[in-house]
A and B are shown apart, each in its own frame.
Chain A
Amino acid sequence: MQATTATKSAPSFKDRLLEALKGTFGTYFLVVVAFLIVQGFIATGSMSSALQGQLVPICVYVCAAVSLNLVVGISGELSLGHAGFMSVGAFTGCIMASMLAPIIPNDFLRLLISILTGGCFGAVAGFVVGVPVMRLSGDYLAIVTLAFGEIIKNILNNLYVGSDASGLHVSMSSVQDLGMTNGTVIINGPQGAVGISKLSTFVMGFLLIMFTLFVVSNLVRSRSGRAIMAVRDNRIAAESVGINVTKYRLMAFVVSAALAGMAGTLYAMNFSSVVASRFDYNTSILILVYVVLGGIGNIRGSIISATILTILPEFLRFMADYRMLIYAVVLICVMVLPNVPVVQRFMEAFKAKVPWLIDKDALEEPDLAEEGGNRG
C-alpha cells in the first residue's frame, strides 16, 4: 500500500536502498545503528547514568513487545498474561545462574545459559497455558491469559527456593520448610529472588533484541508464519484448506512465551532483587500498550514505542508530582489525536516527506473485535 511511492522506472541505487530500509533489513539496521550510537556515547563517557541504567530495561521491553506482537499482531489473539511468562523466565533464570555460579566463572556464558533456561521454561509455561487457552478466542482468551498471569504471580509469591551443599530445595510455605542448613536462599517468597549477581549487560540486551527480531521476522515469512496469518485473517477459510488451526496458533503462542521468558531473565539479572508482583497484569498491559502504540503487527513500531515509553516517565521527572499525569495524557493523545481530522492531514504530509520511515512489511492491523471472536 504505502510501498509504491518510489519504484516506477528502473530503480536507482538510492531507491533500492530506500526500498531495502523499509523491510526487515531496515529494522535490523535501525537496531544496530542505535546500538553503535549508544556504545559511542558510553565510550566517550557522555551518557548520564540515568539513561545508562535504563539501557537494559529498554532492551527487555523491546524484546517483550516484539514477542507479544507475534501473538497480538501476527496471530491476532489478545493476550493479557505476557508478564507471567517473563516472570517464569526471570525466576528460573535466577535459579540457574545461582546454581551455575560455582561451576562457570565466566559471567557472559553464565548469563547466556540462564537466558536460554529462562526461554525454555517460558516455552514450557507457554505450552501449558496455551493448550487450554487455544480452545478459546477473543475476549475470553484475553481474560484467561490474564487469569493465568495472575495465577503464575500468586504461585511465585509463595515459592521458596534455596540451595546448599546437598542441592536444590523447594518449598511452598516458608524458608524454614526448605530444610537446609548454611545454604543460600535464592527465592524468598514475596521478597522474591534476592542476592542476584548483576550479570545483564547492554551488549547482551542488544544480542537478545537481534535474536528476537531474527526469530519473529523469519517465522513471519516462513510457511508456518503464513499459516498463522491465514488463521488470523479467516479461521474457517484456513481450516478448509487444511491448516491445523490449533497447531499454528499454539506455535505463535509458545514462541512468544519463550522469547518473553528470555527477556524476563535478562530483566531479573539486571537488578539485585526481583519480586513476582513486579510481573502483574499492569506489566502485561504496559507491554500491550507498546505493541498497540507501535502499530499492531508492526515490529519496528514496537521497538520504537517500547523505547520511547520506557524513557518518557524518566524524562518527565522534572515534572515531579505531575509526572504520571502527563504520561497518561500523552498516552491518550497518541491514541486519540490520529483520529482527529486535522492531525490526520498533517501526518499525511509528514509521511510524504520521510518515506524511509515506513515499514513496508507492516501488516494490516487486524480488528480483534471482529477477527478473533466467534461473532463472525
Chain B
Amino acid sequence: MEFLTNLINGISLGSVYAIIALGYTMVYGIAKMLNFAHGDVIMVGGYIAFMTLFYLGMNPLICVLIAICGCTLLGIVIERVAYKPLRQSPSLTVLITAIGVSYLLQNLALLIWGSNPKVFPSIAAGLPSLQLFDGQLNISAETLITIGASVIIMVVLGLFTTKTKMGKAMRACSEDPGAARLMGINVDTTISTTFAIGSGLAAVAGVLLCSSYPTLMPTTGAMPGIKAFTAAVFGGIGSIPGAVLGGVLLGIIEIFAKAYIGTQLADAVVFAVLIIVLLIKPSGLLGKYVPEKV
C-alpha cells in the first residue's frame, strides 16, 4: 500500500513536471533555445490565478483561462522584446538573455507581490478525494486533475502538431528552418506562436503546481523549471511524448528515492539516474538520434 501511495504521489508530481517540460521541449524543438525564463512564467501564471481566485473569488476554470491569457501575452512580449532581435545570434547569447529575463521576472514579482509567500487555494475545493482499499489509499482530487490535465494536454498537443496547418509548420521549422522558409512558411511567426503556446502551457502548469504544492513565492518556478528542463532532456528534448514520459519518470524516481533510498541524498539520486540514462542513451529516452554528417 505504501508502494502504491508513493507511486501515485510520484505520478502526480511527475505530471506537473511533464506539463512544464512540454513548454520547454516545444520551444527548444523549434527555436533551439533553452528558455530558462520558462519557470518564471509559471510563477507569474500562479500569481495571476491566485489574484483572481483569492481576491476576486472567481470560478477556478475562469481563473485558469485568465492565467493562460496573461501568460500567453507575457510570452509574446518577452519573445518580441528579448528573443526576436537575437534570431541570428549564437544560441548562448539567447541563453544568457533568457537568464536575464528570468531574473527580471523574479524581481518584478518580488516588487509587485512582496516576499511573503501566498498559499494557493485549492482549485479542487469541495471535490471529494478518491478512496480505494477501504480508505487506505487516498488520492486527492488535485492529483486526479493534475494527471488528467497532463494527459489531455499531451493528446491535444500531439493532434495539434500532426493535424493542423500551424502544427505542421512548426514541425517543418524544427526539422529545417531554411527549407521551411522556401516552402512559404513564415518561420518568424511560427516561432512566435510556439512561444505563445509554451507560455500558455506554463500558466496551466503554474496553477496545477501551486494547487498541489500550495506555496507561491517569486522563486517558486525556479526549481521546478530546472527539474522539468532535466525531464525534457531525459525524455529526449524536442519530443512531445518524450517530455511527458521524462516528466512522469522523474517524478516517480524522485518520490521513490526519497521513500526507499533516503531523503538526504534524494536529489543526488535523481540526477544520478538521469546521468546513467543519458550515458546509455545519449539522446534521451525518446529522442531522435541524428547521425553526424560531414
Contacts and interface: CB of A to CB of B under 8 A. Distances in A.
A292 B89 CA distance: 12
B50 interface: no
Q: Kindly name the residue among B34, B91, B267 whose own CB sees the greatest number of chain A CB atoms within 10 A.
A: B91
Nearest to B222: A282
Q: Kindly name the residue among A139, A296, A329 whose own CB sees the greatest number of chain B CB atoms within 10 A.
A: A139
B283 A140 contact: yes
B90 A140 contact: no
B268 interface: yes
A335 B97 contact: yes
B22 interface: no
A150 B88 CA distance: 32
Contact of B107 (A139, A155, A328): A328
Contact of B111 (A325, A336, A365): A325
B233 A143 contact: yes
A281 B226 contact: yes
B271 A148 contact: yes
Contacts of A147: 230, 271-272, 274-275
Interface stretch (A24-32, A47-55, A345-353, A368-376): A368-376
Given A139-B34, A140-B278, A154-B268, A336 B107 contact: no
B140 to A, nearest CB: 29
A328 B282 contact: no
Interface string B84-96: 0110111111011
A143 B278 contact: yes
A136 B278 contact: yes
Contacts of A151: 267-268, 271-272
Contacts of B268: 150-151, 154-155
Contacts of B95: 288, 292
Contacts of A331: 96-97, 99-100, 103
A142 B282 CA distance: 12
Tell me whether chain B's interface is mostly helix, strand or loop, or mixed. Answer: helix
Contacts, number: 132
B237 interface: yes
Given A154-B267, A331-B100, A144 B86 contact: no
Contacts of A335: 86, 93, 96-97, 100
A154 B265 contact: yes
A375 B174 CA distance: 12
B277 to A, nearest CB: 10
A233 to B, nearest CB: 13
- How many A residues touch the partner, as a band? 35 or more
Contacts of A170: none
A374 B292 contact: yes
B183 interface: no
B283 A374 contact: yes
Given A78-B92, A324-B107, A369-B91, A139 B290 contact: no
A11 interface: no
22 contacts: A139-B34, A140-B278, A143-B229, A143-B278, A144-B274, A146-B226, A151-B268, A154-B267, A154-B271, A158-B265, A285-B36, A288-B92, A289-B99, A293-B96, A331-B97, A332-B100, A336-B97, A339-B85, A367-B91, A374-B283, A374-B289, A374-B291
Interface of B: 28, 32, 34, 36, 81-82, 85-86, 88-93, 95-97, 99-101, 103-104, 107-108, 111, 226, 229-230, 233, 237, 264-265, 267-268, 271-272, 274-275, 278-279, 282-284, 289-294
Interface of A: 72, 78, 132, 135-136, 139-140, 142-144, 146-148, 150-151, 154-155, 158, 235-237, 281, 285, 288-289, 292-293, 296, 321-322, 324-325, 327-329, 331-332, 335-336, 339-340, 365-369, 374-376
